[in-house]
Amino acid sequence: VSQLPASSSMDERARTITYSEAIQIRNARFIDDNGDNIISRNEICKVIFELVNQSNRTLFDVQPIVVETTGNRHLYISPGMHIERLEPGKGIRYTAMIKADNRLKAGSVKICISAVEGNNQTISQVSEFNIATRK
C-alpha cells in the first residue's frame, strides 16, 4: 500500500497566490456565431470582457485568463496575452476566441475567466459561463 505525501508542490504554490480587488472583470459575455448560446461542431465563439484597474497604483504584467475547466478536448481557446501596464482607473477589452472541432459531442462545458498580475501571485475574481454543446 503506497502512502500519499503529506503535501504537494501545489499546496505551497496555492499559499503564495492572493486575491486582488485591484483587477475587476466587467461586462463578460459569451457570443457564438449563430446566436443560439450553444457551442456546435466547427463553430467559432468569443468570450469578451473588460479588465479594469480599480486600484490607485499602476498594475504591471496583467494577463487575462480564459480556460475550459471540464476537460473537453474538442474546444480550442486562443492563446492569452500580457498587458504590460494598466494605469489606475483604466481598462482594456479582451476577446478570446473559442473554436469547436468536428468531434464535439452534446453536453456542457464551463468556461472560466479571470486575470493575474505580476508573476501570477495575485488573481482577480473568477467569472464562469456554463454553456451547452451539441453535435
The predicted-structure confidence for 30-83, as pLDDT tens digits, reads as follows 999 998 999 999 999 999 999 999 999 999 999 999 999 999 999 999 998 999
- Tell me which residue of 47, 30, 52 sits closest to 125, measured CA to CA: 52
- Tell me which residue of 47, 30, 24, 50 sits closest to 123, measured CA to CA: 24
Q: How far apart are CA 35 and CA 39, in angstroms?
A: 10
Judged against a pLDDT cut of 70, whether residue 5 lies above it is answered with no
Whole-prediction pTM value?
A: 0.81
pLDDT at residue 17, rounded to an integer = 67
The cell for 99 is 473554436
pLDDT at residue 122, rounded to an integer = 83
pLDDT tens-digit profile of 113-134?
A: 999 988 767 888 889 999 999 9
